[in-house]
Amino acid sequence: MTGHRHDLGDDSGGDLDGELRRLFDDKRLAVPPRAGAEDIVVAGARRIRRRRAALATAGGALAVVALAGGVLALGGLRTGPAQVALPPASQPVPSTSRPALLVPPIAPTAAPTSTTPGAQSGDQAPLPETQSPRSSPRQTAPSPPSTSTRLPVVSGSVLGPSGYGALQLGMSFEAAKATGMLADASAPPSGCATYLLAEGSSAVSGVYISPTAGILRFEAAGAATPENARIGSTLAQLRAAYPDLAKGSSTYTASAGSGGSYVFYLDDSDVVTAYELIGPAVTC
Amino acid sequence: MRESGEEDVPAEGAKVTTTVPAVADRAPDAFSAGLSDFGEFVRASLPGLLRYGHALTGNPHDAADLVQTVLEKLGARWPSVRRKTGDPLAYVRRAMANAHISRWRRTRRENLVADLPDLAASAANDPFEHEPLWQALRELPPRQRAVIVLRYYEGLSEAEIARTLGISQGTVKSQASKAMTSLRAKLAEGRETE
């Protein structure tokens, strides 16, 4: 690429480039770490790790069930089923993967998002937090107990070709809210925003909605496409299921029919680590 | 920051963890040993990551929340990250950009990793309160803001941004163009009202 340093943003010749660089160089951007912050992060990492380990053992049997259908349509399984099915089950959205901590005293800018305590959608691992010597007292604050795992949902959920259940690509925020499927739709979006589903995030981890263009995309967790592609599918399986599969810069896309597309994110072993159903209006 | 051409970089930050193998059969001791190394990494990288998060999110509270979220997930698979990634710092920064765009914030939690005044006070004492450009950036949609930050904070090329965010170069171009247009319009608007 020639002149790639100028391929962005220089089109009107203003000094905005320079102003942006100066701003991002400003010393006042510094945010001081709290003392002991690394211990807090390490303890958080341990907690996630333990939860995953528990799911790896508990989820294996269910995973076999969940994948049985996929084998028919997509051909051979790759490696161990537990490994395939673990990601969706063990990948809650980030903030639900930790105990819901105290809500800050006041959150003037966060009204729409502060209404759903993270743990409400279910920390799926009922794992006692007893072996973390480095946890701070705050981190042992109990999250609401979850009496069942949500794994069974994984086996039957289908994302696509044009939506998930009553939620459809392009549907307005108001219409989406009216389905009752959104978990946290107290206020209309002022900008594009991701919403959780009331049913939890085991099948679909988020719905991205624009105030003008409606639902722009669905982020899959455990749900499969109608062609039975899912997280854990291999590139070969995708190719078999989607003859029009096209390689992008770092993703693969395939037509979902009905104007939508699937975008698959693959890891370095060519296994799907995430995928999305997106509408034709991809920008926000 | 430049990164090498590794292909195992996640296109989506929160998706970093999806390739973690089953761990139940691993000796816990090995993981604990690996975590001391991770603790060192966190200690060394935290100031820079918090600053970067501030640029990405536009406020220090969200920055701290984003950094904590991404680092905890990284730490949970640290041994594997160390094996596969020569530059974990670049990996984290890319994960943060992606997480910022799509999914990291579901709830606002009490911050744990940064030393901050409470939100009301910090909103009142925003150091960039009188910076028109900062205020204009605040109004950009997350993806556009991320493109701008990757370009002007990280110094990435269009192709690198495309790969980092898992979008096409055409999308990077259009997002950047929209962002710059909005920023210019906002700044011009501000000047007119002065």
**A257 DSSP assignment:** E
Count CB pairs under 8 A between chains A and B.
312
CA trace torsion A45, A143, A203, B25 (10° rounding): 40
Asked, for residue B136, whether it belongs to a domain, the answer is: yes
Are B110 and B171 in a shared domain? no
Q: What residue of B is the nearest CA neighbor of A189?
A: B141
B27 & B51 share domain: yes
Say what percent of chain B tops pLDDT 70: 69
Which CATH number fits the domain that encloses residue B172? 1.10.10.10
Is the pTM higher than 0.80? The answer reads no
- Say yes or no: A32 contacts chain B, CB-CB below 8 A: yes
Q: What is the pLDDT of residues B80-119, one digit of tens each?
A: 888 888 888 888 998 999 888 875 444 444 445 565 555 5
8 Å CB contact of B15 and A265: yes
Q: How many angstroms separate the most distant Cα atoms in chain B?
A: 66
pLDDT 10s digits, A148-172: 332 233 357 899 899 999 999 999 9
ipTM of the complex as predicted:
0.74
Tell me the per-residue pLDDT of B16-39, one tens digit each, with 9 for 90 and over. 333 333 333 344 456 666 677 898
CB B70 within 8 A of CB A58: no
Report which DSSP code applies to B36. Answer: H
- Side by side, which strands form the sheet with A193-195? A193-195, A204-210, A214-220, A272-278, A260-266, A251-257, A246-247
Range of the domain at B147: 128-194
Q: How confident is the model at residue A19 (pLDDT cuts 50, 70, 90)?
A: very high
Contact A53 B24 (CB under 8 A): yes
- B17 and B45 in one domain? yes
Residues of A in contact with B175 (CB under 8 A): 283
Structural domains of chain B, count: 2
User: Do A181 and A206 meet the contact criterion of CB atoms below 8 Å apart?
Assistant: no
What are the backbone angles phi and psi of residue B183, rounded to the nearest 5°? -60, -45
In chain A, where are the structural domains located?
37-278
